[in-house]
Amino acid sequence: MKKVILGLSGGVDSSVALKVLKDEGYQVEAMFMRNWDSLTNYDILGNPDIHNEVCPQELDYQDALKVATELDIPLHRVDFIEEYWETVFSYFLNEYKKGRTPNPDIMCNKYIKFNAFLKKAEELGAEYIAMGHYAQVKHLEDKSYLLRGIDDNKDQTYFLCMLKQDQLRKALFPIGNLTKPEVRKIAKEANLSTALKKDSTGICFIGERNFKQFLKNYLPAQPGNMVTVDGKIIGTHDGLMYYTIGQRKGLGIGGSKEFANEAWFVCGKDLEKNELIVGQGHDSIYLESNWCIASDVNWITDVPLEHKMYTAKFRYRQKDIPVEITFLDNNKIKVLYEGLCRAVTPGQAVVLYDGEVCLGGAIIDEVYYNEERRKY
């Protein structure tokens, strides 16, 4: 039987994925990744930050160990702390320095789960690796295709858009043909200790934290003015890196007799002036765009055609948007949407689909409404 090593995170999804592989007859082992220094964090000078509690990653390891024992599967524990810092967290910080909103989960899949993990698994004799992602893979004789997961609400192909063909060729997704309720049911029927464990949120491998406080450990805050779309100062912000395009909560403004009684949203950032631009109304035209430019283009299997209609997502769980692309120099593409799209954000990924097939993606750089470049 083929040997498969699965990334066991200590959550219910990877736990059920492990059981599915075992039931299907694979020679299965599990591996828990420790990608963050769980004992402490460090401030921007490299000193320990005593205000942060122990990372829940250690608790996740204990859960993973319980599941591996329950299923009688060998469990390896590996450290990718250095690799994570150099390839994922440094990228994360650099993007925030630029005033952008990065997606560390995408880079974690690219560099850690399907690169560092894959290499370690191959050292241990694995022919395939497996993850508890809600995605599917179709392996043909000469190529492999990444397909959406059956559960539309949980499909995670968005986060897998930067995988290379050689990475996908080695990958299995045992629960991609299941819905979340079905996964929970399997876990309960198998009496797995993670059956009722809540889904993880927060920064990939770092967990749930006070985001502002966490970033302050690494990037000095630079407060500035909060201005309306026509330039009127109406407050102050704590630092542009703490806000994302389309954000509503946490702005601390409202109730002024000078303005209409509508909610305020982040509509842009002026990096040169260190100003946060805000406007009223969820459907503000300042949050709309109809094309963007994206770089670091990655196609997983086949290269799409110019001017053919595909669909795209500009953020996780977004409804598919019809688009067509044009290739530009320096590994960039122009993505033209059919109609308008709200809060397309630099630093995030635009992920293209041809039906159920995830073609790949790119990182959003510039956002436009007709010929006007948005201050995003």
Which residues are part of the catalytic machinery?
A: 108, 204
DSSP state at residue 242: G
Residue among 41, 32, 39 at smallest CA distance from 6: 32
Sequence-separated (6 or more) residues with CB below 8 Å from residue 148: 135, 136, 155, 157, 353, 356, 358
Question: What whole-number distance in Å separates Cα of residue 371 and Cα of residue 356?
Answer: 32
CA distances from 280 to 178, 228, 270, 294 (A): 41, 9, 18, 28
Q: End-to-end CA distance of the chain, in Å? A: 52
- Count CB neighbours of 198 within 10 A: 7
CB of 134 within 8 A of CB of 11? no
* Look-up of token digits 């977004």: 318
3-state secondary structure of 69: helix
Q: Which residues contact 21 (CB under 8 A, 6 or more apart)?
A: 4, 6, 28, 130, 172, 174
